[in-house]
Structure 1
Amino acid sequence: MPREKEKRGRRAEAKAQKDESKRKRDEAPEDPVAKRMKPTDETDDNPLGENADYIPLDSEEQQMQFEGGENAGSGDMPFYGLLDADEAEYFSRASEMLESNQFGDAEERGLFVESVYQEANGKELKIACSQGCSRLMEKLISMSDVHQIRRLFGKFIGHFLHLVQHRFASHCCETLFIHAAPAVMQKTPKAHAKKSNEDGEETESDLSLADMFMTVINELEGNWGYLLTERFASHTIRVLLLVLAGEPVDVTSTDSIVASRKKERLGLAAAGAQDEKEKEKAPTGKRSVPESFQPALKKIMNDMVSGIDDTYLRALATQPVGNPVLQVLLFLELSHFGKSSAKDPKSILRRLVPDESFEEGTESATFIRGLLYDPVGSRLVETMVKYMPGKVFKNLYKNTIRDRIGSLSRNNTAGYVVLRTLERLGKDDLQSAMELIIPEVPGLIERVRLIVPRTLIDRCVVRNIDTKPFAEALASAYDQDPKIRLRQMLRLGEQTEIPAKEVDHEMEDADEESHQERRPAGGSSVANAEKLHGSLLAQTMLTVRGPLSELVFSSLLAQDTDTLMQLAKEPTSSRVLQQALASPASTTQFRRQFVSRFQGHLVDLAQHSSGSHVVDALWGATKDIYFVKERMAQELAQGEMILRDSFLGRAVWRNWSMDLFKRRRGEWAARAKGLDQQPTDDGAAPRPKSKIQLAAERYAAKMTEEEQKKAATESQS
């Protein structure tokens, strides 16, 4: 009888032991999950010592182990329940309707928002923690009035410690703080006090928004050290700090320290904004806040960093989640509480850089030099350079940056610190910095690191420094042939790809989720970034009178008509043409030669998304050469039917006042020469005032002046 096949060796034994242990585990009764014990100072095995409760910086496991506060861990996160299928479908449709914004007016939209709130009554926490419906909650908050915000704020009270740590609810808390901030100074109306009506429906809380914010602070008390580096709570804490300080909170900016560049922009910029006009009117400056906010803010900042020793505080500078919060703390310390607070030995700035001299070999100099080339740490150096006291900045520049500013400008990470440094330099120091950067210009042009030259040009204009040496350096870096020079500036017709680490691009926020090195995603992004930075540099050069603008003007005149049409239809290069036509540095002689190149192509350009803007710019560029403008208007009039069939063409037709050109040529001529009033908002041209109307206005003004004099005489008597 054949024997049964059996596996031999160590692998078979290991497999058998694994199966046995698995079987025992399955057969064993389930034990209740023990609550995670909070570490104490009695054990000697704690590798982080007494500061473990505040800043775990190593692995995620250690972060969960050494957490601050009793309920800060995600293992204690309560479960608020799930929406059923019908509720999820309703809120999903409501989100789509708010996204489409197909409402007749603001009142109709307000009624719809209120109906959604009524449907969500009692389910607010479920919606906030829902992956799909949390976006609806953010949209609702952005479209809510003060009473609705207070009502929702009251529903969240008592749960903020858990909500700010939730992956989806944290964004709802952030949006709630932002849109509640403008109304913190309003008093609670008695008519909206907390009460129950006949149906038992609960209305607003009797707490004011200021009191609600203080309640949030009390709920988070004792957990600041943990929330400082918590994955989802950190961005909400940043918003809360700025709201308490009365600082503007801009989550739409790509360079904001509040939110990462990958954060979903839901188009909700202003609190209580019901339409685009209201959003534009929304205050963006510093707000007034209650007096109780300042001591509360100071206590929070002290609680966040008081339990962290200096070594751990410096470690936060390179920690992706903690670094943005540290930037906010440093910004508030230096700007909100005054730069004199930096003299305090316990201040954040002095703890980070205790030696204000920044001399070679000091602890401060070593710390700063270690951060200059770090993608995360360099952000903190930017904040220091921007807000630190003048005396400290001068020492930092003199001993750490000045002699190395040329090599720092070559690096795509340290180059951003150079930008902030150039913004604070005086005339003499800026002149010396330009001389040190000039030898690096050919390398910067070759590697497409153009943001440093562009900023240097802007600062030289502000400080009234001669840019001729810099123009000569740029001329030597590009080809001597003006026709080829423009193609090199705008990176036209080049398919070469530079390694990702060698390309300059906009900074990304240092959140743990979205933190990446400063590099574009792929080859197409590289090419687009090159064209964008080349276009921005050329536009900056066109704003400076003298050799810098002449480099671009001469290159534009050297191009043939086909190349100019290609440039006009490129989104990035068309901006250069518009700047050349509108720049104060352009002369009448240049514009007379340049605008004639577009004749015969206006109708074609007017139908293109980028070219139409160039045609619009030709209107202002020909204000002192009327005969050229008239020829262009005749060309547009010949293509009237084509332009009227195009959306972009109709916009050009309106901007050139072509209806006036066809019907009242004299009034059009006055407008073309800039002799009449500006057009009204609806695009209709106002008729010029007659002599009788002008005389009536003079008579009315004279009578008003006599009445004022008579009233003044009677009051004296």
Structure 2
Amino acid sequence: MPKEHRKRGKKKKPEPEWQPPVQQSAPEPEPVPEKPEPSWIVPGSKDTEDEPNPEAPYGFVDADVKAYFRTVDIQIRDWQENAVEAAASDESDPNEERRMFFVAALTEMAGKEKQLATDPDCSLILERMSYSMDDFVRRVFVDSLIGSYDVLVKHRFASHVCQTLFAVAKQTVAREKRGNLPAIPESSDKGELRTLTELIQDVCEELFPVFASLVMDPFASHVIRALLLLLSPTSVLSDETAQNAMRSKKSAAWKSKQGPLKSLFKEGSNGGAQVIDAPPESFTRAARKFVEVMRSELDHNETRALAADKVASPTLQMLLAVEADQQMTEDPDSLMDRVLVGLITSSRDDPAGIHPMSDYLNTLLRDPTSSHLLETIVTRCPEPAFRILWTTYLKGNLPRIASHPVANFVLAKALERASVEQLAEACGELQNAWGKMIQASRTGVLRAAIDRAATLKACGAEITEAIFAAIQTKAVEDRDMLVPCLLRLQTCQVGLLLSQVATAKATEGAADNTESHKRQDTSANQPTVQGAVLLQSLLRLHDPHNQAVIASLNSMSIEEILPMAHHPVSSRVLDALLESGTVPAKVKRQFVLSFIGNYHLLVDDRIGSRVGDRCWAFSDTYLKEKIARSLISQEQFLAASYFGKFFARNLNLYLLQRRPDEWRTMQSARSRPEPDKASAANAQPVGPIPGKEQKKRKRDASGDEIDVLFSSAIGKKVKKAALVDATELDTKGSSSASKGAILNDLADVMGAIRAAPAEKRKGGRSS
């Protein structure tokens, strides 16, 4: 390449390297004064890593430990579900293997109780194991959680463990009250183990400072209710109320899907189930202190605000019940007086004065949540306060309250404690509203009025007229339709129309037996539970006020009674007819005789066989013989019936046809009440009675070999029922003339054998 020619001129200086421009520093702004933060803002802690996890405040459970307890849960559920097969097995001690397995699980649980209680999977396993713990283990378990109950009762999963502990603790507390304490192994490294009664007191002392906040906590409120139920078992009216107070419907439905929660061991291995007849004095004082803490921590407005809260309202109901049991409702500034807006105080100071109506109580009356609270108040408030409640809030508005979908329950509770004057006022005021209640299927007020009339033995005529007004009978002949119409909650006109339609269909399309027609008929004439309950209450009224139901039943044909006896709802009415103490015996006897000739059709059903058993149990010997003789021709039908064969066992038709005298004696002996064993032992003399000839002692059966062989051979061929009944009659000391033909025949045969020559017995069969 040619050389590059240089250009002439001045040499250019090398350009300097690029450097970033120097920025001039801007003047510092003037400091702005900081505004003070609001008082409700709490700065977060810098040591957030050291704070416990709210889901696991005591740490997480190790994976291996959790896997072990899952196997424990599977094994326990398997044993509980197969409890019937295990009981029928031939094991000598089925509890021994389970006890060893359970002890191993308890050993693994030691020291990890709090972690397991807060774990989502293991908490349910602890609940299942709590039912199988004996008294000593329960005391150890409750003691291991002492000091942490204020945290555990607010935990989502541990709260259910605490609730189950308080539920099963009543058995241990009942045994401790009776002095039945388990033996405790002595050890020098551990302190003294307190009783469960003392431990429950410590739990209450731990919860007293935070009790007001626990009432409104969604997880702790049900634990508080379980604890109050343990401290004051008389604060609830029934077992159903106790179950509703313990768990919500959603929680109860979830728990029912977790398999059986019961003791793993057989009954009797843990001392048996015990019930606290009366709580200890320390429990009564603790329940009283809970009410006092509630009074001191909350003011009037806060207490009234709990009534409409879905979480706190059930707990407030139990506190009001405890307050009523402790006779604290009439104290100044009581919880019930706060909810009633000072009504108890004003009724005590001025009983005859005029009390203004409160809008707050009117709201409680119609609110779905707080109406339950008002039911408790109406049931347990003092009598002067109840009279003011009746006069101010109920009287004059009974038709509107009775037709309200929520307030009618409060009125029904009020009628359960109404006086004769108040019940008469209610019947007169609701005279034109009974029909609307029947059409709306709101029969709680009517049922409460009938039950109260039966209790007070008053206002029977008013109640009877109310029933006829409810079904709208216009003529006397229509009163025979009382049972069909009231059972289906229909008016008399609707009932007559449906019966005419059914009769027309039966006559027109007798051959048309399609399933669609059957479904329409059954759906249109289906008995209702409300109607059956009303008829049962009417049968408990005193004579002659219950004659309306009896006359309606007598007017029904056997073709109408049999479907009624076969239905699981309407059959309860027939049971009440036989069980009611106010129904005359003549009416019951006539009812039993009405089935003569149709008993085989009655008992050929699952429900009808139970009605037949009740008729048989009510009958005397003469009536039983009439029933049995009417079924002799249907013996084969009963033997082929799945349900009728059980009823046929009571008849013993074979013995009736061959030895009727012995059959009557046997039925008389069965219907006679059995004497008490303790009284019979005390009444039986120990020594010989002076002045009375003693019977000779029977010869020992083992003395004669021929008698033993003969009796063993004959016993396999003779009817078992007849032989057992005759033997029972002999042991009960009946006369020799009534021993029966079987024993007489046996005596004759055995006497002939003894009289035979000895050589014939040895030589075998004679020619």
Which TM-score applies when normalising by structure 1? Answer: 0.70
2:143 paired with 1:154: yes
The percentage of counterpart residues that share the same residue type is: 25
> Per the alignment, do residues 533 and 189 of structure 1 end up closer, same or farther by CA in structure 2, a change over 3 Å counting?
closer
Structure 1: how far apart are the matches of 2:376 and 2:638? 55
- The alignment partner of 1:439 has SS state of coil
Q: Which residue of 1 aligns with 2:104?
A: 118
2:485 paired with 1:488: yes
Q: Which residue of 1 aligns with 2:4?
A: none
- 1:338-349 alignment runs, 5 A limit: 338=327, 341-349=328-336
Contact 1:271 1:282 in 2 (8 A): no
Offset at residue 94 of structure 1 (A): 1.4
Which letter maps to 1:665? P
Which letter maps to 1:331? A
- The alignment partner of 1:253 has SS state of helix
Deviation digits for residues 194-231 of structure 1 (CA, Å, limit 9, x no counterpart): 7489xxxx9x9612212211332243343212211111
Q: Which residue of 2 aligns with 1:665?
A: 660
Q: Which residue of 2 aligns with 1:95?
A: 77
Structure 2: how far apart are the matches of 1:489 and 1:84? 58
Q: Which residue of 1 aligns with 2:440?
A: 447
2:164 paired with 1:175: yes
**Which has the larger displacement, 558-567 or 188-197?**
188-197
2:694 paired with 1:652: no
Contact 2:117 2:161 in 1 (8 A): yes
Contact 1:251 1:259 in 2 (8 A): no
Structure 2: how far apart are the matches of 1:280 and 1:548? 46
Which TM-score applies when normalising by structure 2? Answer: 0.66
Q: Which residue of 1 aligns with 2:87?
A: 104
Contact 1:252 1:269 in 2 (8 A): no
> Per the alignment, do residues 534 and 660 of structure 1 end up closer, same or farther by CA in structure 2, a change over 3 Å counting?
farther
Contact 1:241 1:297 in 2 (8 A): yes
Structure 2: how far apart are the matches of 1:132 and 1:157? 22
Structure 2: how far apart are the matches of 1:280 and 1:122? 26
2:534 paired with 1:551: no
Match of 1:687 among 721, 729, 734: 729
**Which has the larger displacement, 653-662 or 453-462?**
653-662
> Per the alignment, do residues 294 and 195 of structure 1 end up closer, same or farther by CA in structure 2, a change over 3 Å counting?
same
Match of 2:275 among 272, 283, 292: 283
Offset at residue 318 of structure 1 (A): 0.8
Which letter maps to 2:279? S
Q: Which residue of 2 aligns with 1:614?
A: 611
Which letter maps to 1:427? V
Structure 2 gap segments, 5+ residues each: 1-36, 42-50, 492-522, 677-720, 737-767
Q: Which residue of 2 aligns with 1:459?
A: 452
> Per the alignment, do residues 288 and 493 of structure 1 end up closer, same or farther by CA in structure 2, a change over 3 Å counting?
closer
Structure 1: how far apart are the matches of 2:464 and 2:269? 43
Contact 2:592 2:615 in 1 (8 A): yes
- The alignment partner of 1:438 has SS state of coil
Structure 2: how far apart are the matches of 1:109 and 1:533? 46
> Per the alignment, do residues 491 and 662 of structure 1 end up closer, same or farther by CA in structure 2, a change over 3 Å counting?
same
- 1:206-355 alignment runs, 5 A limit: 206-245=193-232, 247=234, 252-253=239-240, 256-262=244-250, 263=252, 264=255, 275=267, 282-283=274-275, 285=277, 287-291=278-282, 293-335=283-325, 337-338=326-327, 341-352=328-339, 353-355=341-343
Q: Which residue of 2 aligns with 1:140?
A: 129
Structure 2: how far apart are the matches of 1:277 and 1:639? 47
Structure 2: how far apart are the matches of 1:181 and 1:278? 13
Structure 2: how far apart are the matches of 1:680 and 1:135? 48
> Per the alignment, do residues 543 and 298 of structure 1 end up closer, same or farther by CA in structure 2, a change over 3 Å counting?
closer
Offset at residue 531 of structure 1 (A): 0.7
Q: Which residue of 1 aligns with 2:24?
A: none
> Per the alignment, do residues 387 and 656 of structure 1 end up closer, same or farther by CA in structure 2, a change over 3 Å counting?
farther
Q: Which residue of 2 aligns with 1:712?
A: none
Structure 1: how far apart are the matches of 2:585 and 2:570? 22
Offset at residue 328 of structure 1 (A): 1.0
Which letter maps to 1:257? A
Higher relative contact order (CA 8 A, sep 6+): 1
- The alignment partner of 2:76 has SS state of helix
Deviation digits for residues 313-344 of structure 1 (CA, Å, limit 9, x no counterpart): 11100111100110111111121x21xx3333
Contact 2:215 2:315 in 1 (8 A): yes
> Per the alignment, do residues 191 and 75 of structure 1 end up closer, same or farther by CA in structure 2, a change over 3 Å counting?
closer
Structure 1 gap segments, 5+ residues each: 1-41, 47-70, 495-525, 694-717
Deviation digits for residues 455-482 of structure 1 (CA, Å, limit 9, x no counterpart): 2111112112131222123123325545
Deviation digits for residues 648-669 of structure 1 (CA, Å, limit 9, x no counterpart): 4454344556676467533543
> Per the alignment, do residues 583 and 190 of structure 1 end up closer, same or farther by CA in structure 2, a change over 3 Å counting?
closer
Q: Which residue of 2 aligns with 1:509?
A: none
Offset at residue 173 of structure 1 (A): 1.6
Aligned length: 584
Which letter maps to 1:288? P
- 1:579-618 alignment runs, 5 A limit: 579-587=576-584, 590-591=587-588, 594-618=591-615
Q: Which residue of 2 aligns with 1:573?
A: 570
Deviation digits for residues 224-255 of structure 1 (CA, Å, limit 9, x no counterpart): 12211111211110121232335477995156
> Per the alignment, do residues 104 and 165 of structure 1 end up closer, same or farther by CA in structure 2, a change over 3 Å counting?
same
Offset at residue 140 of structure 1 (A): 3.1
- The alignment partner of 2:556 has SS state of coil
- The alignment partner of 1:152 has SS state of helix
> Per the alignment, do residues 653 and 428 of structure 1 end up closer, same or farther by CA in structure 2, a change over 3 Å counting?
same
Q: Which residue of 2 aligns with 1:709?
A: none
Contact 1:616 1:656 in 2 (8 A): no
Structure 2: how far apart are the matches of 1:391 and 1:271? 47
Structure 2: how far apart are the matches of 1:294 and 1:325? 17
Offset at residue 371 of structure 1 (A): 0.4
- The alignment partner of 1:456 has SS state of helix
2:397 paired with 1:404: yes
Offset at residue 348 of structure 1 (A): 1.0
- The alignment partner of 1:367 has SS state of helix
Q: Which residue of 2 aligns with 1:192?
A: 184
Root mean square deviation, CA, Å: 4.3
Structure 1: how far apart are the matches of 2:546 and 2:669? 26
Structure 2: how far apart are the matches of 1:679 and 1:663? 27
- 1:19-38 alignment runs, 5 A limit: none
- The alignment partner of 2:245 has SS state of coil
Structure 1: how far apart are the matches of 2:81 and 2:267? 13
Structure 2: how far apart are the matches of 1:650 and 1:118? 50
